[in-house]
Every structure is written in structure tokens, then in C-alpha cells.
Amino acid sequence: MSNILIIKHGSLGDIAQASGAIQDISENHKGDQIYLLTTKPYLDLFKKNPFIHEVILDKRLPKYNLIYLYFLMRGLKKHNFSKVFDLQNSSRTNFYKNILFPKADKVNWSSSITTLPKDTNKEEFDKLSVLERFDYQLKKSGLTTNNTLRPNFSWAESDISQIKKHFELNKFILLFPFCSPHLTLKKWPYYNKLIDLISNKYIDEYKIVTAPGPSEINDAKEINAITLLDNGRALDISQLTSLIKDSSFIVANDTGPAHIAAHVGAKGLTLFGKHTTAYKVNIERENFKAIEVTDLNNLSAEKVFERLNNILAK
């Protein structure tokens, strides 16, 4: 039996996307111990993943913090990992490679760098979608990939029956009108107008709700929807995943909850401006679609409602 390490630090959307790759790594290493190195926001979440045996915390302190780096590397070396799958593929994780396996190739350290063909430009390779890059990386590392292109994030669910009972949720449309303050290009500004259109059409058939993150609770007050909290606190990722899966429909900006929706089979729409494309982040699925425009300010609530109404009518 060997010890295998997977590295995946975040973000939330990236965690959902990597679920299929993690499953494939585990299924190709039956009988081995699968460890995962991640950051604090996802530590407890990954402990629920059935394809991981043990989760290791990386505080991701600055690289010049030599004391922290020394103890992290010493702790990792104790496990005597026979192979590392770097699904973060960042400059930081490449730095870890140079410490742990300075002469490693794809046999010991699987990353987009070590698996990249010599005649391929990484800039060109990075034009592929996220999941295509994962799939290529794992196949070049000798793995059979049955799940990488079709990740399933349902393992993250938890029981939210009490929350649904408290808010009397049966049929509900779930909105995610938020985004990071430094990514305002992702924010569509017409959610309240969309809420009016939904309410006028469906009256009381659907409750309209939103589930803000910890830093979005005040922003939720500007949205004319029921704010779902758990005893005044934001839902955790597992609760959020279950809420998304149980919803009748999702409308979201291109943020973590949209990626969860795509990979738990939820029905809905995500709205894209010019920041990236739906293809690049592999967000479209059978039930979950994207509207792509050059400027989200020019995407009308009527257009989004038309798509929503057509999908709900099926």
C-alpha cells in the first residue's frame, strides 16, 4: 500500500470542478491511502469526501515564513508519498514540488507542467477548459478517467430538513446575486427586477430565496428575497450544496454556488460577462445553462426571465 497526495487549495468553484478528478485518482489507486492537502475553508468539507482517507491543512502562510514552511514540508515528507497529484497547478504548489521532489517528472509529481508535452506551449494549453486540462493531466499520468469530465459534487451534501422546515421551503427559486468585491465584472445588477417578473408570473407557486455567504449578509438586504440563514449564520458549504440541489431553479452570477449547481444536477442559469466563458470553466450541463454577453449591464431582466420561464415550462 502506498500513500498518494492530492493538492487542492480552492476556491469553492474549483473544489466542485475537481471532484471528478479526485474520484478518478482514488479509483485508480484502490488499496492505497489517499491524502489531500487543502486550506482551512475546505478542511471540514473534504473530510466528508468518500474518496479521501485523510485531510492535511495548509495554512498557506507566506513562502518567506521559513519556520512554517519547514514544518509543513517535514510533515509531508513523513508520509513518504509515492506520488503527488497537483490539482491546484499554481506557482505555490510548483514551489512545493521543487522542495519535496526537486527532480520529479510526471511519474512522481503529476501537474500541468510535468505532463505538458515538450512541443506544446503552456499558454496554448491553458486555453483548454479546466476539466479538459485535468483530464489530459491525469491521462498523461497513466490514469483511466471516467469522472474527471463529469464531476459530481453531491458527496458534499448534508441534512437541511430543519432549515427547510423553518423557512417552509417546498418549491423555491434560489438566487445568487453576489460576487467578490474585486470581481464586480461578474455581478449582474437586475435581480430585483427579475424577482418582480417571477412574482408576477408565478404568484405564490415558488418562494424566492437567497443564501448569502458570511460577507454577503448585509448585501442580501438589498435583494427582495427571503434570506436563508442558519440561526443567524451563513449556511456552510454542505448545507448550501443541499439547498442548491433541492431548489426548483437557480439564477447565479459566475461564482462558487453556480459551479456547485452545475455539478449536483440542479436546474438553472448562470450569467457571464466578458470576464471568461462558460466553455473555459465547464459550467454548462444538461440542466444548467449559461447566458453569455459582453456587458452584464446590458443583459435585461426580461431576457433572463424568458430563459428561466422556458426551462421551467419543460
What DSSP string runs through 174-189?
EEE----TT-GGG--S
Which strands form 3-7's sheet, in the order they lie side by side?
54-57, 33-38, 3-7, 83-86, 109-110
Going by C-beta distance under 8 Å and a sequence separation of 6 or more, which residues neighbour residue 190?
299, 300, 301, 304
Q: What is the pLDDT, as a whole number, of residue 118?
A: 77
Rounded Cα–Cα distance for residues 187 and 253 (Å): 6
Q: What is the pLDDT, as a whole number, of residue 104?
A: 83
What phi and psi, each to the nearest 5 degrees, are found at residue 4?
-120, 135
Q: What is the pLDDT, as a whole number, of residue 127?
A: 82
Q: What is the pLDDT, as a whole number, of residue 24?
A: 98
Going by C-beta distance under 8 Å and a sequence separation of 6 or more, which residues neighbour residue 49?
19, 22, 36, 155, 156
**How many C-beta atoms lie closer than 10 Å to residue 114's C-beta?**
20
In the block, residue with C-alpha cell 448545507: 239
Q: Are 58 and 76 in contact (CB under 8 A)?
A: no
Q: Are 304 and 271 in contact (CB under 8 A)?
A: yes
Q: What is the pLDDT, as a whole number, of residue 119?
A: 76
Q: Are 238 and 257 in contact (CB under 8 A)?
A: no
Rounded Cα–Cα distance for residues 235 and 218 (Å): 15
User: What is the topology classification, in CATH, of domain 160-312?
Assistant: Rossmann fold (3.40.50)
In the block, residue with C-alpha cell 417552509: 168
In the block, residue with C-alpha cell 527532480: 103
**DSSP string over 69-90:** HHHHHHHHHHT--SEEEESS--
Q: What is the pLDDT, as a whole number, of residue 182?
A: 74
Q: What is the pLDDT, as a whole number, of residue 220?
A: 96
Rounded Cα–Cα distance for residues 192 and 219 (Å): 13
Q: What is the pLDDT, as a whole number, of residue 48?
A: 97
Rounded Cα–Cα distance for residues 267 and 171 (Å): 13
Per-residue pLDDT tens listing for the chain (314 residues):
899 999 999 899 999 999 999 999 999 999 999 999 999 999 999 999 999 999 999 999 999 999 999 999 999 999 999 999 999 999 999 999 999 888 888 889 999 989 987 777 777 788 889 999 999 999 999 999 999 999 999 999 999 999 999 999 999 999 999 987 777 789 999 999 999 999 999 999 999 999 999 999 999 999 999 999 999 999 999 999 999 999 999 999 999 999 999 999 999 999 999 888 999 999 999 999 999 999 999 999 999 999 999 999 87
Residue ranges matching CATH 3.40.50.2000 in the chain: 3-152, 160-312
CATH class of 3-152: alpha beta
